[in-house]
Chains A and B, each alone.
Chain A
Amino acid sequence: MVNRALGAPRLTGPQPPDKPELAVQARAQAEPLIKAGDSHLADGIFSVAMLGCALCVLALVGLIVYELVTKSSLSWHASGWRFFFRSEWDPVNDQFGALPFIYGTIVSSILALVIAVPLAVGVAVFITEMSPPWLRGPLAFTTELLAAIPSVIYGLWAIFVLVPLLRLFVEPWLARYLGWTGLFEGTPFGIGMLAAGVILAIMIIPIISSITREVMTAVPNHQREAVLALGATRWEMIRTGVLRNARAGILGGIILGLGRALGETMAVTMVIGNRPEIARSLFAPGYTMASVIANEFTEATGDVYLSALVEVGLALFIVTIIVNILAQFLVWTVTRGTPARANV
């Protein structure tokens, strides 16, 4: 064995081939641009490095699960399943029940969907089917601009503009005409579940609307032409030719919006009132899973308290993942035939 550090002794003149088949190969690829051996080694290193980056993504999700599970085990051992069904949240006496937060998260998200879905689908229908072509680009861009506004700015605007509007005009009106439902009674504070629902709706409209647009664009044009040829009006064409074909994808977009609403933190924390109570009225203050973590995590004294907050985070993580996977599956069933598009 030659010492590699010294290198093999250099010989002058043409070298006899070690093996006959190598000589044939060498003659075939006379003067390659890059030495074969070098590129094999470099290719190997490069592909391993890229593989490492890809494995990082896997490792990150693994780390998230590991961190959440280990850090919440204390609370899990203390309460078990009862954690999710008890409504008292009393850190002083180490009593933790997450029901008010689960309730607040579900109610504010459903309220957001009720407001956002008709508007978002309306916008998508207008942009894809009715708008003159010159207006389409600017409209799409403007609605997507709503998605670029950070959550904390939505919260700031909601505190100083939306909440006073609700308190002075919308809530008294709702209490007078819809008070009998029981959903709109009590003092109109402005701050509360309704404000959280409205600001969430504004935040998820761009997501639902852009997915709806994408799946409606994926509906082939001959569907539209066929319905129009039967003498349909434009609305009949949209209803039977487009919306019916795209409904699974639109549902996917709605569920994707739900996923965003469930995990949204800052804007909701700033306007929902942050009180761990379950009230029927939408005017009453509430609390969501994400906001309780945001508000109490840094001041959580005591291991069980911190662990309980992490358990709320784990529950939120599991729910949003299930919701997102379902949504992506639904969108995929509609758009699978069309070529991949960049989400610009």
Chain B
Amino acid sequence: MSETLTPATTVASAPVSLWRRGLNNLVTGLAVGAVILVLLPLGAIFGYLVYKGIGSINWAFLTQTPKPVGEAGGGMANAIAGSALILLIASLMGVPIGIGAGIYLAEYGRNRLGNLVRFTADVLNGVPSIVIGIVAYGLVVLTQGHFSALAGGVALAIMMIPTITRTTEEMLLLVPHAVREAAYGLGVSRWRTTLSITLRTATSGVITGVMLAFARVAGETAPLLFTAFGNQFWNWKLNQPTAALSLQIFTYAISPFDEWHRQAWAGALILIVLIVAAVSAVRIAASHGTLKGAN
């Protein structure tokens, strides 16, 4: 729907009663009020993040590891790096599997197995993140014997897969069938058609899905609590406890120290800037991409 439908006001007919007009205005007012009430916390959260966070971001915050309680200074450099490491592991596992499953659903999935996979992906999408954390703990941490970046990556990968699968499927289905037929007609095999024609055409949409999944897991904390666990020091080993930005914000926020509260706001500002940048990039890519959605 592109235009808002409004009642005609100039039709020569019986005048609308005062009560009905009043009710109409009242409801309009309520809807405007709801919009304002919803935008208020959004503004308050962003305002507070910038107000509290910007003063605490400095060179030390971006380059140093946390100082012990009581000492001023220190930063979250190891947590930022840890988050990057965990997200890299998650993407390396989650993106190929997610896109592959999406290709299966779009190109081969018009059958009972396809429906089952589609349904399962939706179920997986609704599983609470803390439950995913328990599963990753059982699968990786208990097997390895200690908390690790790998376990955190596995937990986040499990959360990325269903989002990527379903968006990839939707985007591939938007590619007109004639494009595939044209490729087949030239004698191109099915797998080449899928990879270099269909997937290529839908690239911007597929990237959108990947970025959405990425933005969704980038700030996740619950599944990392007992998988990556957190670490006060630098760590680049995959099988050792690793710091993450969101974990560090949580630890600092519930601590009783003012210095830590300050750093929690700074960390939160950095996290939100990264996520909003990812989401905005998706918006721009989606509106300028080769595919603009179905409608």
Q: Which residue of B lies closest to A225 (CB)?
A: B5
State whether B31 touches A122 (Cβ < 8 A): yes
Task: Confirm or deny: A128 has a beta carbon within 8 angstroms of a beta carbon on chain B.
Answer: yes
Instruction: Please provide the chain A residues from 136 to 175 with a CB less than 8 Å away from any CB of chain B in the complex.
Output: 139, 141-143, 145-146, 148-157, 159-161
Task: Confirm or deny: B205 has a beta carbon within 8 angstroms of a beta carbon on chain A.
Answer: yes
Instruction: Please tell me which one of the listed residues B24, B96, B127, B215 contacts residue A64 in the complex, with CB atoms under 8 A apart.
Output: B127
Task: Confirm or deny: B165 has a beta carbon within 8 angstroms of a beta carbon on chain A.
Answer: yes
Cβ of B42: which chain A residues have Cβ within 8 Å of it?
A: 142-143, 145-146
Cβ of B7: which chain A residues have Cβ within 8 Å of it?
A: 228, 232-234, 237
What does the 1/0 interface line of B262-295 toward A look like (CB < 8 Å)? 0011001001100110010011001000000111
Cβ of B259: which chain A residues have Cβ within 8 Å of it?
A: none
**With A60-B161, A145-B279, A342-B167 given, is the CB distance from A152 to B139 under 8 Å?**
no
Min CB distance A308 to B, Å, is 12
Instruction: Please tell me which one of the listed residues B104, B158, B188, B272 contacts residue A51 in the complex, with CB atoms under 8 A apart.
Output: B104
State whether B139 touches A67 (Cβ < 8 A): yes
State whether A265 touches B100 (Cβ < 8 A): no
Instruction: Please provide the chain B residues from 166 to 217 with a CB less than 8 Å away from any CB of chain A in the complex.
Output: 167, 170-171, 173-174, 186-192, 194-195, 205, 208, 212, 215
Instruction: Please provide the chain B residues from 119 to 152 with a CB less than 8 Å away from any CB of chain A in the complex.
Output: 120-135, 137-139
Cβ of A309: which chain B residues have Cβ within 8 Å of it?
A: 134
State whether B4 touches A129 (Cβ < 8 A): yes
Task: Confirm or deny: A85 has a beta carbon within 8 angstroms of a beta carbon on chain B.
Answer: no
State whether B254 touches A270 (Cβ < 8 A): yes
Cβ of B275: which chain A residues have Cβ within 8 Å of it?
A: 148-150
Selecting from B56-64, B66-74, B84-92, B221-229, the interface stretch reads B221-229
State whether B27 touches A235 (Cβ < 8 A): yes
**With A63-B139, A341-B294 given, is the CB distance from A54 to B5 under 8 Å?**
no
**With A53-B97, A57-B124 given, is the CB distance from A152 to B221 under 8 Å?**
yes
Min CB distance B27 to A, Å, is 4
**With A146-B42, A235-B23, A235-B24 given, is the CB distance from A50 to B101 under 8 Å?**
yes
Instruction: Please tell me which one of the listed residues A32, A141, A270 contacts residue B253 in the complex, with CB atoms under 8 A apart.
Output: A270
Q: Which residue of A lies closest to B108 (CB)?
A: A47
Q: Which residue of A lies closest to B276 (CB)?
A: A148
Task: Confirm or deny: A78 has a beta carbon within 8 angstroms of a beta carbon on chain B.
Answer: no
Task: Confirm or deny: B78 has a beta carbon within 8 angstroms of a beta carbon on chain A.
Answer: no
Cβ of B162: which chain A residues have Cβ within 8 Å of it?
A: 57
State whether A46 touches B191 (Cβ < 8 A): yes
Cβ of B134: which chain A residues have Cβ within 8 Å of it?
A: 67-68, 71, 293, 297, 309-310, 313
Chain B interface size, under 10 / 10 to 19 / 20 to 34 / 35 or more: 35 or more
Q: How many angstroms from the CA of A39 to the CA of B295 in the assembled complex?
A: 36
Q: How many angstroms from the CA of A325 to the CA of B127 in the assembled complex?
A: 11
Interface size on A, residues (CB 8 A): 107
Q: Which residue of A lies closest to B105 (CB)?
A: A54
Cβ of A266: which chain B residues have Cβ within 8 Å of it?
A: 221-222, 250
Q: How many angstroms from the CA of A49 to the CA of B35 in the assembled complex?
A: 47
Cβ of B104: which chain A residues have Cβ within 8 Å of it?
A: 47, 50-51, 53-54
Cβ of A224: which chain B residues have Cβ within 8 Å of it?
A: 5
Selecting from A2-10, A18-26, A316-324, the interface stretch reads A316-324
Cβ of B45: which chain A residues have Cβ within 8 Å of it?
A: 149, 153-154, 157
Min CB distance B2 to A, Å, is 7
Task: Confirm or deny: B103 has a beta carbon within 8 angstroms of a beta carbon on chain A.
Answer: yes
Cβ of A225: which chain B residues have Cβ within 8 Å of it?
A: 5
A-B contact pairs, 20 of them (CB 8 A): A54-B100, A56-B101, A57-B97, A60-B161, A64-B127, A123-B38, A126-B31, A148-B215, A153-B219, A161-B44, A161-B48, A231-B13, A234-B28, A263-B130, A263-B131, A297-B137, A298-B225, A321-B127, A340-B294, A342-B167
In the complex, the 4 A-B pairs of residues with the closest C-beta atoms, listed nearest first: A150-B219, A263-B128, A122-B34, A53-B100
Apart from A38-B189, A125-B31, 16 more pairs, CB < 8 Å: A57-B165, A130-B32, A145-B42, A150-B246, A156-B253, A160-B48, A160-B52, A233-B21, A235-B27, A238-B27, A265-B128, A298-B226, A298-B229, A313-B131, A344-B282, A344-B293
